[in-house]
Structure 1
Amino acid sequence: MNLLHAYVSGRVQGVYFRGWTRGHAQRLGLHGWVRNLRDGRVEVLASGPDNALRELQELLYEGPALSRVDGVEIVAMADEEQPTHGFSIAPTV
């Protein structure tokens, strides 16, 4: 299992980005969460098989129909912080 930790910028809040991301993550069998950030970005943390994480990462560049993705920043994160159950929408921070 590997980890994807990403920050998505653009018009990504108020356009169903979190629900859309959760739906794709659940379909791909990933664990983790997605949340809005007060600075207007969306943060995604997902764990699972490499091929599923790659597909989710590619999808993040597209976003749902009403969104406009300006960038996706992938960041490294320690393995011990990997989520292991389900995929949820977390509270805004």
Structure 2
Amino acid sequence: MIARRLVARGLVQGVNFRGWVRDRAESRGVVGFATNHGDGSVEVWLQGDADAVAAVERAVADGPPHARVDRLEAEDAAPRDGLAGFERR
């Protein structure tokens, strides 16, 4: 199991970005969350099988049809205990 912390910047709020990420994560068995930040970015926490996390990260880099991801910051993180499902925060 691995964990990745992503920060998506661009047109990523007000376009159902978090719900779209949740759908991709859930379809691959990845747990975590997506949350809006006051600076207009969206933080995404992904945790699960390395291949599944990588697939969701690639999807986040492209974003949904009405979004525009200008920059995706990504870093490895220590997996967290107690995460179940994918939460839109």
List, as ranges, runs of 4+ consecutive aligned residues in structure 1 with deviation greater than 2 Å. Answer: 75-79, 81-84
Distance 2:57 2:81 in 1: 16
Q: Which residue of 2 aligns with 1:17?
A: 17
Shift of 1:45: 0.4
Q: Report the RMSD for the aligned CA atoms in angstroms.
A: 1.2
Matched pairs, number: 89
**Is 1:88 aligned to 2:83, yes or no?**
no
Identity %: 35
Shift of 1:75: 2.2
Deviates more, 1:69-78 or 1:3-12: 69-78
Distance 1:74 1:82 in 2: 20
Distance 1:77 1:15 in 2: 27
**Unmatched segments (≥5 aa) in structure 1:** none
Asked if 2 retains the 8 angstrom alpha-carbon contact of 1:3 and 1:82, the reply is no
Q: Which residue of 2 aligns with 1:45?
A: 45
Q: Which amino acid aligns with 1:58?
A: R
**Is 1:72 aligned to 2:44, yes or no?**
no
Shift of 1:4: 1.4
Alignment CA distance shift 1:82-1:71 (3 Å):
farther
**Unmatched segments (≥5 aa) in structure 2:** none
Distance 1:58 1:2 in 2: 15
Shift of 1:83: 5.2
Asked if 1 retains the 8 angstrom alpha-carbon contact of 2:7 and 2:73, the reply is yes
Helix, strand or coil: the match of 1:76?
A: strand
Compare the two structures and name the one with the higher strand fraction: 2
